[in-house]
A and B are shown apart, each in its own frame.
Chain A
Amino acid sequence: MNFSLTLFNVVVAVIIIVAFVAMNAAYLVWAERRGAGRIQRRPGPNINGPFGLFQPPLDGLKLMAKQLLVPGGADKVLFAAAPVLAMFPAITSFVTIPFSDTLVAHNINVGLLCVFAFAALGSMSILFAGWSSHNKYAMMAAVRAISQSVAYEIPMLITVITVVMISGSLDLREIVRQQSGNIFHWNIFPLLGNSHNLLMPFSFLIFFICSLAETNRAPFDLSEEESVLVAGYHIEYGSMGFGLFFMGEYANIVVGTSLATLLFLGGWACPFGLFPGVWWFLIKVYALIATIIWIRWTFPRSTIYSLLNLSWKILIPLSLVNLLLTAGLLKVF
């Protein structure tokens, strides 16, 4: 009885999560295109349905109708596995990400660790795609993606440790609970709430930059730089293989912004301390996503060496200093 109820819960949760992630990925493509249109003074997709809202399902339909070609000399197994692997971490991450105090598929007390463990798989899919495509451009993109991933996981994790030190927990729900209340209780706000938080805005900045790099978003989208690598690691993918990569990119953005919201922006807490709930969480997530879209259509792309320099020479030392100072603050106050 008890077991079957759990099983039922899990199945329902997984369906909801997959639907949520897939819908998000599909409609973020639409949002990105509309947003880019706004920024570039052109309409963007506006033919299919009101505001072009039917565009994503139609695009999906078109992609599914295409033949999936495997290039000669490709490693067939890895080639097929890579796009699936691109979507997988995003979906599994949402199992432990709480949307509100009660709305969570399965809360575990090391949820944060779990999310990072899955997120690291994302770069594996890029490596598989680049390696198996039997294409020099794809291979170069894969090499770039791996060095970028290695470089940015480190400052990101070190920064997250500062949050964990302040909260004293790896449980995402617990981390948010400690920030409940109005905007001054959030981790990002340094003054009134908690004097340990003095360096938190700084941590947030590092975290945000790192999550841009981790999700391969502009200005750090070096592994899909079209002016050199044509399309990067997914150059040989057509059909829904390409579609999955595309959706995976947006799904990872949702994961990254969700984490930023939970760790720094008070999760589902309301800025005025009123009616906390899932809506506040979603508002914050989409505000961050809008910022990311805005950045992409404003800035040119960075270079691979300045990207790596930024991590190894600036972000990692800074995040270490940040960690030390935060530890010191914790001791003093």
Chain B
Amino acid sequence: MIRTNVLSAMRALFPEAPEAPPVVEAPPPVPEQDAAAAKKAEKSAKPAPRVNGVVERDYAVHGYHIDTQVAPEQLLEAVNILDQQQFFLETITGVDWIADQQLEAIYDFSHFGFEPCRVVIRTRVPRDNPQLPTISGIYAGANWHERETHEFFGIVFEGHPYLVPLLLPEDADFHPLLKDFKA
């Protein structure tokens, strides 16, 4: 029930997307023998970033149900949808896609109800100017998660009330989880 609600609400964010979005489902577990070939294929497939949109994922494989990629300016809208559906914020994290020169911020949401429904909202920002709106106004708990993502990846959350390092020293000006970080 919740899953379909969220799915339809999320799809409404992308009016221009086709009815059935292009599924970029990950391939099933690769047998050992052609792993090398598959890896080569993935390596070449990797740099093409996904288009924004909603994808339903196989829970048994990925551990979440709805995978939404939004543009940075759609982020607050998407998070608001989840807030209205009584979701809670599991965590915020980043991934450094250095090959694409992009940083990805991943927002994990889950639900207290008995119908398992995990929603992932991801958004990509350019690596040289990573700026995202803060969602700490919607989820107070996002405050610390955003501070952590800021110090580890250098993503700037605009409008964040107190964007100073949380786990690193107060004067840390390095971002250790970037792939080009050298200690």
Q: Do chains A and B touch in the complex (CB under 8 A)?
A: no
